[in-house]
Amino acid sequence: MRAFTVEKYGGEAGMRAAELPVPRVGADDVLVKIHAAGVNPLDLRIRNGDFKAFLPYRLPLVLGNDLAGTVVRVGPSVTRFAVGDEVYGRPDKDRMGTFAELIAVHQHDLAPKPATLTMAEAASLPLVALTAWQALVERAHVQPGQKVLIHAGAGGLGSIAVQLAKALGAQVATTVSTTKVPLARGLGADVVIDYRTQDFEDILDGYDIVLDSLGGQNLAKSLRLLKPGGTAISVAGPPDPAFARELGLNHFLRLAMTALSFKTRRDAKRHGVTYSFLFMRASGDQLRELTPLVDAGKVRPVVDRVFPFAETLQAMEYVEKGRAKAGKVVVSMT
């Protein structure tokens, strides 16, 4: 099968197209013919080796973390799917590889594809939708009437998180650039802040939850606008001790992550709020819960551009250089 692999860490020069054997299908695995795959900033960070200290992948590595496709084979213990089913999902972090024609995925990491979506639209969702779900539903327990700030509301994660927060009944604010203000309003945001002309810290106050995807000063300022007892969840801020424990890292890496997040956790404590780092995990069950919202039109994918599979490297460059205007970039195998 055709695939795009990382031969060495460090940038686009370390990736190439390759011919690989068909993946082995385990007892609980589903072999999926991939029709489309989403491109995420996470793919770039893995390619560049940003996570090699605590995610020690063996090279060469097939990249890619989102898929939509058709089941072509099932393992003997599979009960959730049959050959011919259309599915979407995010493979487990140890089994990624959606920039390929085929992939073997554990049945629990997949869900039936939303009936209202194309394959390209469905492929844009899993990673960002699961991140939004795990931040807003699983961790923050968003309730109707709460005030939620979603940063970068026109991006891949932000565009889905804004819609999910609204579907949960929250009052939603978001930050976007000038040209993306109409899109953010169309997604349902109640307050839209143009970060090029406005400082969100001067406008917002008394928020219950912040979902941060930018880190740095953006995160530091976000802590200050939360009300006492509020929660800041970041996918870009410093990893915290809870994340280190979740991965089962060794003593030295745990100490390193404790040190990296010390200032952020200290500042959060001073403001009477909590901070946590989120590294999403695969979950077919959570996608099944999200799918009715998608088919009802309450959460809709935002796709910026679809590249042919042969141009996967160009698609990654497009994302890396920030050319996407809004939402997700997808590669299509068909």
Q: Give residue 291's pLDDT.
A: 97
Task: Look at residue 32 in the predicted model and tell me its pLDDT.
Answer: 98
For residue 246, is pLDDT > 90?
Answer: no
What's the rounded Cα separation, in Å, for the pair 51 and 246? Answer: 15
CA dist 129 and 61 (Å) reads: 24
Count the alpha carbons within 13 Å of 260 in the hemisphere toward its beta carbon. 19
- What pLDDT does residue 247 have? 78
Separation CA 75–CA 43 (nearest Å): 28
Q: pLDDT value at position 20?
A: 97
Residues 287-307 pLDDT 10s:
999 999 999 999 999 999 999
Listed in sequence order, the residues at least 6 apart from 252 whose beta carbon sits closer than 8 Å to its beta carbon are none
Structure tokens at 167: 């579907």
Report DSSP state, residue 155: B
CB contact set of 334 (below 8 Å; sequence gap of 6+): 35, 36, 119
Average pLDDT, the chain: 95
Nearest to 71 by CA among 56, 84, 88: 84
Q: Which domains does the chain have, with CATH numbers?
A: 2-125+302-332 (3.90.180.10), 127-277 (3.40.50.720)
Helix (H, G, I), strand (E, B) or coil at 163: helix
Residue 323's contacts (CB-CB under 8 Å, 6 or more residues apart) are none
pLDDT in tens, 20-64: 999 999 999 999 999 999 999 999 999 999 888 778 889 999 999
pLDDT digits (tens, 9 = 90+) for 131-170: 999 999 999 999 999 999 999 999 999 999 999 999 999 9
For residue 159 the two structure tokens come to: 């565009």
DSSP string, 53-102: TTS-PPSSEE----EEEEEEEE-TT--S--TT-EEEE---GGG---SBSE
- pTM tops 0.85: yes
Residue position matching structure tokens 């195998």: 333
In this predicted structure, the answer to whether residue 253 has a pLDDT above a threshold of 90 is no
User: Cα(159)–Cα(128) distance, rounded to whole angstroms?
Assistant: 9
Distance CA 309, CA 302 (A): 19
53-79 pLDDT, tens digit per residue, is 778 889 999 999 999 999 999 999 999
Backbone φ and ψ of 162, nearest 5°: -60, -45
DSSP class of residue 113 equals: P
Residue-by-residue DSSP string for 233-283? EESSS---HHHHHHHT--HHHHHHHHHHTHHHHHHHHHTT-EEEE------
